[in-house]
């Protein structure tokens, strides 16, 4: 099954006139470890499709390979096996948003964010989707919920600041973004 899953990920190429690898072959060689990892995750996931950690691990490998349609299918199958998992719902919402299915992502993320165990990432992703829909006040509430789950979380603070800027709240945006920058880990 894993070989079938990854068959669409394979890249082909031919040698260049100078005897070196073509860019397609280089890309294939770079993807080979990712393909092996994805195959390993696929085998584990097939045995327990409702496991959130296995689902997320497998989906991350599929994303790295650019297999976004397969990632959606995996998430849909996982939700059938474990419909109450906020982790899987959150990943599904994120994948729907990445696929441009913003309205559907909004519904899924709304449901995931309503659960008491929803992570800050679910709330933050919900905010991003709401911003895309032009619902900035709702998005800002989602970012604030993310910050309640994980106070000082830089990604959520940054998203809140950008949402405020999109909504014309420039003074608030500047303050929020300065606060996020101040929390940045020194390099």
pLDDT over 70 at 1, yes or no: no
pLDDT tens digits for range 57-108 = 999 999 999 999 999 999 999 999 999 999 999 999 999 999 999 999 999 9
Top pLDDT among 173 and 28 is at 173
Chain-centre distance of CA 145, in angstroms?
18
**What pTM value is reported for the model?**
0.78
Computed over every residue of the chain, the mean pLDDT equals 86
Give the model's pLDDT for residue 30.
52
Cα–Cα separations (whole angstroms), residue 181 to 142, 162, 186: 20, 13, 10
Residues 43 and 32: their CA atoms lie apart, in Å, by 17
Give the whole-number percent of the chain exceeding pLDDT 90.
Answer: 76
The tokens describing 103, both together, are 């309205």
Residues 104 and 93: their CA atoms lie apart, in Å, by 8
The CATH architecture one would assign to domain 106-187 is Alpha Horseshoe (1.25)
Q: Where are the domains of the chain?
A: 31-83, 106-187
Query: Both ends of the chain: CA-CA distance in Å?
Result: 44
Is-contact 39 10, C-beta < 8 A? no
Q: How confident is the model at residue 184 (pLDDT cuts 50, 70, 90)?
A: confident
């Amino acid at each position: 099954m894993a070989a079938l899953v990854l068959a669409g990920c394979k890249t082909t190429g031919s040698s260049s006139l100078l005897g070196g690898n073509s860019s397609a072959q280089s890309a294939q060689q770079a993807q080979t470890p990712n393909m092996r990892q994805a195959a390993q995750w696929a085998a584990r996931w097939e045995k327990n499709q409702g496991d959130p950690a296995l689902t997320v691990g497998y989906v991350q490998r599929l994303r790295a390979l650019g297999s976004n349609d397969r990632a959606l299918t995996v998430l849909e199958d996982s939700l059938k096996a474990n419909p109450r998992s906020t982790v899987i719902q959150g990943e599904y919402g994120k994948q729907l948003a990445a696929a441009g299915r913003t309205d559907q992502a909004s519904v899924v993320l709304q449901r995931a964010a309503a659960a008491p165990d929803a992570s800050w990432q679910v709330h933050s992703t919900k905010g991003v989707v709401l911003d895309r829909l032009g619902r900035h006040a709702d998005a800002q509430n989602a970012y604030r919920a993310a910050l309640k789950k994980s106070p000082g979380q830089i990604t959520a603070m940054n998203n809140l600041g950008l949402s405020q800027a999109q909504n014309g709240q420039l003074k608030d945006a500047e303050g929020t973004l300065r606060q996020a920058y101040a929390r940045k880990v020194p390099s």
